[in-house]
Chains A and B, each alone.
Chain A
Amino acid sequence: MRSRDPEIRIRDFKEVALGLTEKQAVKEAKRCIQCKKPMCVTGCPVEINIPAFISAIRDEDITGGLAIIRKYNMLPAICGRVCPQENQCQGKCVLGKKKTAISIGALERFAADYEMIKGLSQKTNMSKPNGHKVAVIGAGPAGLTVAADLARHGYQITIFEALHEAGGVLTYGIPEFRLPQKIIDREVEYVKSIGVEIKLNWIIGRTQTVDELFEEGYRAVFVGVGAGSPRYMNIPGENLNNVYFASEYLTRVNLMKAHQFPKYDTPVKRGKRVAVIGAGNVAMDAARTAARLGAEKVYIVYRRTRSEMPARMEEVEHAKEEGIELLFLSSPKEIIGDEHGYVKAIKCDAMKLCEPDASGRRRPECSGEDFILEVDQVLMAIGQTSNPILTKSVKGLNLWGAGYIEVDDEGRTNIPGIFAGGDIATGAATVISAMGAGKRAARAIDDYVMGRKKVKSREPEMAETEG
């Protein structure tokens, strides 16, 4: 895919990847050999009929192709941009074995952008209103998907969102240069256009409780609150000035527009020499944001090596093009402050890979040496975990691991009428998996409310008298 010149793009927040032209897209689509048993589909978490949509693009029926994608994926413009395709569909494409896999993500993005550029609007078949109210908590990809699917089925949906804007991580986490806000806004507008109400600044567990939602007549509740709480390392110096969790740093810039300070009131500190700890998408986003805020040097500091980096391949490539230096086998153990309590350097253990273990994985271990990297800002991106506000407020809700909600394959929790999906059920994952979870939960909620499956109802007596 074409992308903007690194020299120019690191001076602004405009989108980096440019997408395909119609000509390029059709040409790429023609390369697909339309496998009888398409491996790409097996790699797709929501099993999009990939050869079918590619074949429509090949025949220059772009909107037809998009309609096929939409059957499975509600957010193609977003997923086309942020899915880790190299581990999913593209990673499985048979052509990849010998030559280059089909750029499935780029084609998906092209189909979705085509509609936007041509000013077409999404057609929706709406069922008649069925009079049932369902509450959705959290306006991230999981919540938006549940809301849209159920609204189309005639449900009256209200989304409750804690922040002052909808979109979840798409809005407050993933930067503009990777996923322009107007694309998220368009999806949010679509969800509203089919009758979904979004209540912002509404923290379930605090502003209202889940029990109160049921009392207000909501028949079911979907919990899609994500896993937004930053993890920390517990190393000395973590609370020095100019050490940010990536979550805060990105929220300041993406949600609060701190890069436009003082036009916007929220400030963010611009580091000159920045170390980003971690190597996932969050780390890449933080590093590339730091570069755009004027850092002279940005390091990614990672314990393992290139092949273990969890970030999308494209982001790693883009980061490298933008001059970001990757330091592998480096495990930070201390952040060193100056006499005023500001970051001065980080101290890292130099790691080496030990012999492969039973699983074939080579774990890093300390080589016994350490080194000091002089930096004036540290961004920590070592992962996120569950946020307890909602989960703690629901009595008896079964949780697992670090406070994630236990669900079955369809998103049912142990409490009848309460469903969950996305990062809060799986731990930090991907946009497409959150969306897929939303789709399955929407079906389960429909079954539950319509009494189609033998599930315990919340209020047995009431259900009987109603029936």
Chain B
Amino acid sequence: MFKVLHKEAVAPQVDALIIDAPYIAGHAKAGNFIVLRIHEKGERIPLTIADSSLDKGTITLLFQKIGKTTEELGTLKKGDFIRDVAGPLGHDTPVKKYGHAVLVGGGIGSATLFPILKALKEKKNKVTVILGARNRELLVWEDRFAEIADETILTTDDGSSGKKGLVTEALKEVADSTDIDVVLAVGPIRMMQAVAELTRPYKLKTYVSLNPVMVEGTGMCGACRVSIAGKTKFACIDGPEFDAHDVDFEEIAHRLNFYKDEETESLEKFRKKKCKGKCKSKGTKESSGQVVK
């Protein structure tokens, strides 16, 4: 059992939890994730270790409530328990002195990028961070990034904060105006794919952190397999970071849709139960727009 020590709403549909997990905190490196199961009937889902404290023995999870499990996780309060948390998992991000590193984050991708930013700065890299979201409200942890990064560029689709436009447009500007040694992008599949396509002609070393469906997260099931340069790899032990120019994005996008029907069913059932039929008018409004029958 893992105790929730702190809970915070970070943006609409995005929460942060601080969890008591001293052994995981003691071994967490940039790029690592955990797999958690809230209760006995729960699903195992992977979440990046967005931050950790060795002294306090805690890890921070930052998650977007997009389905049953993340929504349920969002109902936990300080003092509640998560039944299972296993980790740290996945390869450590290759952190070294590159020179100029550019981190590109879309939406919840910030969770993965924050520890990488810290690690890159420890190695005395110059780091430019580009964070994008649909609007100002949906930007996650931009202030924390700005504190540490050499430069932080924000983009929003509607221009409500930073530049109006996409992260790739901002990245292109940086690439055209300065030398970049490495790019690391984390976010929705299509965003990572766009970054990969953008940097390819520039011959820029680019990493992406893939997020396929996982089950146990320790290399024992193969649920998370992805095609990298034509070879099957398990994202949980061979990744989740891969060379962006080797990734078969179409395949991942496709595999991520595999359980759509079940995900919808599960979420609807959960919301119905949570409301117990009372909150048809309320509560669903602020949710991500899905109609509860």
Residues of A within 8 A of B (CB): 162-164, 172, 200-203, 206-208, 228-230, 232, 234, 238-239, 241-242, 245, 247-248, 251-252, 255-257, 261-267, 269, 341, 387-389
Contact = CB atoms under 8 A, between A and B. Distances in A.
A203 B227 CA distance: 26
Contacts of B226: 239
B89 A265 contact: no
Given A208-B27, A265-B41, A269-B258, A247 B84 contact: no
Nearest to A247: B221
A232 B23 contact: no
Contact of B84 (A201, A208, A265): A201
Contact of B237 (A208, A245, A269, A389): A389
B216 interface: yes
A302 to B, nearest CB: 20
A252 B215 CA distance: 8
Interface stretch (B108-116, B162-170, B262-270): B262-270
B89 A206 contact: yes
B189 to A, nearest CB: 14
Contacts of B215: 248, 251-252, 256, 266
Contacts of B259: 267, 269
B222 A265 contact: no
Contact of B232 (A207, A239, A247, A266): A239
A200 B220 CA distance: 16
Nearest to A384: B220
Contact of A232 (B68, B220, B222): B222
Contacts of B269: 262
Interface string B24-67: 10010000000001000111100000000000000000000000
A261 B234 CA distance: 25
B39 to A, nearest CB: 9
B69 A207 contact: no
Contacts of A248: 215, 221-223
A162 B220 CA distance: 11
B251 A239 contact: yes
The 3 closest A-B pairs by CB, nearest first: A267-B262, A265-B43, A248-B221
A203 B87 contact: yes
A162 B218 contact: yes
B223 to A, nearest CB: 5
Interface string B250-291: 010011011100110110010000000000000000000000
B41 A245 contact: no
A339 B257 CA distance: 15
B10 interface: no
B85 A265 contact: no
By size class, the interface of chain B is: 35 or more
Given A229-B219, A387-B220, A234 B266 contact: no
A6 to B, nearest CB: 29
Contacts of A387: 218-220, 237
B220, B222, B226, B259 interface centre (most CB from chain A within 10 Å): B220
Interface string B4-27: 000000000000000000011001
A206 B263 CA distance: 30
Q: Is the interface of B mostly helix, strand, loop or mixed?
A: mixed
A128 B23 CA distance: 31
Given A206-B27, A248-B223, A387-B218, A200 B84 contact: yes
A293 to B, nearest CB: 13
A239 B255 contact: yes
Nearest to B238: A388
B132 interface: no
Nearest to A238: B232
Interface string B229-240: 000101001000
B293 to A, nearest CB: 15
A262 B266 contact: yes
A267 B266 contact: yes
A229 B265 contact: no
B83 interface: yes
Contacts of A207: 23-24, 27, 86-88
A241 B254 contact: yes
Given A164-B86, A269-B258, 9 more contacts: A164-B83, A164-B84, A200-B84, A230-B221, A232-B232, A234-B232, A264-B42, A269-B259, A389-B237
A251 B218 contact: no
B225 interface: yes
Given A164-B84, A251-B216, A389-B218, A239 B225 contact: yes
A230, A248, A256, A265 interface centre (most CB from chain B within 10 Å): A265
24 contacts: A164-B84, A201-B84, A201-B85, A202-B23, A206-B89, A229-B220, A229-B234, A230-B222, A241-B254, A245-B222, A247-B222, A248-B222, A248-B223, A251-B216, A256-B43, A256-B44, A256-B215, A263-B41, A266-B215, A269-B259, A387-B218, A387-B219, A388-B237, A389-B219
Contacts of A264: 41-43
Contacts of A263: 41
Contacts of A269: 258-259
Nearest to B223: A248
B263 to A, nearest CB: 8
A434 B33 CA distance: 31
Nearest to B37: A164
A248 B251 CA distance: 18
B85, B225, B269 interface centre (most CB from chain A within 10 Å): B225
Nearest to B45: A265
Contact of A251 (B89, B221, B258): B221
A172 B219 CA distance: 14
Contacts of A266: 43-44, 215
A387 B218 CA distance: 8
A386 B7 CA distance: 39
A265 B69 contact: yes
Contacts of B257: 241
A170 to B, nearest CB: 14
Nearest to B41: A264
A241 B258 contact: yes
B232 A163 contact: no
Given A228-B220, A256-B215, A265 B23 contact: no
B232 A201 contact: no
A245 to B, nearest CB: 4
A162 B221 contact: no
Nearest to A386: B219
A447 to B, nearest CB: 31
B42 A203 contact: no
